[in-house]
Structure 1
Amino acid sequence: MSAPHTDVEQVEAANTAFYEALERGDFETVSSLWLTPADLGVDEEYHDPADTGVISCVHPGWPVLTGRGDVLRSYALIMANTDYIQFFLTDVHVSVTGDTALVTCTENILSGGPAPAAGEELGPLVGQLVVATNVLRRTRDGWKLWSHHASPVLADNDDESESDEDGEASP
Structure 2
Amino acid sequence: MTHPAAHQADRTAVEAANTAYYEAMEQGDFDTVTDLWLDEDATPITCVHPGWPVLTGRGEVLRSYALIMANTDYIQFFLTDVEISLAGDVAVVTCTENILSGGPAEDGAALGPLVGELVVATNVFRRTPDGWRIWSHHASPVLPENDPDDAPDTDD
With the shorter chain as reference, the TM-score category is 0.7 to 0.9
Given candidates 1, 20, 26, the residue that maps to 1:17 is: 20
| 2:124 is the counterpart of 1:135 | yes
Change (3 A) 1:69 1:3: same
Task: State the Cα deviation string for residues 41-82 of structure 1 (Å, max 9, x = none).
Answer: x5xxxxxxxxxx610000000000000000000000000000
Aligned to 1:6: 9
| Aligned partner of residue 157 in structure 1, secondary structure | coil
Name the TM-score, length of structure 1 as normaliser: 0.79
Equivalent residues in 2 for 1:21-170, closer than 5 Å: 21-37=24-40, 40=41, 54-113=44-103, 124-159=113-148
| Aligned partner of residue 62 in structure 2, secondary structure | helix
Aligned length: 146
- Deviation of 1:132 after TM superposition, in Å, equals 0.2
- After superposition, the CA RMSD in angstroms is 2.3
Change (3 A) 1:7 1:69: same
Q: State the distance in 2 between where 1:83 and 1:30 align.
A: 17
- Deviation of 1:145 after TM superposition, in Å, equals 0.1
Counterpart residue identity of residue 90, structure 1: T
- Deviation of 1:114 after TM superposition, in Å, equals 6.6
Change (3 A) 1:123 1:67: closer
Task: State the Cα deviation string for residues 75-128 of structure 1 (Å, max 9, x = none).
Answer: 00000000000000000000111000000000000001479xxxxx98631000
Q: State the distance in 2 between where 1:73 and 1:109 align.
A: 21
Aligned-pair identity in percent equals 72
Q: Highest CA radius of gyration, 1 or 2? A: 1
Counterpart residue identity of residue 33, structure 2: V
Name the TM-score, length of structure 2 as normaliser: 0.86
Q: State the distance in 2 between where 1:74 and 1:122 align.
A: 22
Task: State the Cα deviation string for residues 7-43 of structure 1 (Å, max 9, x = none).
Answer: 0010000000000000000000000000002xx4x5x
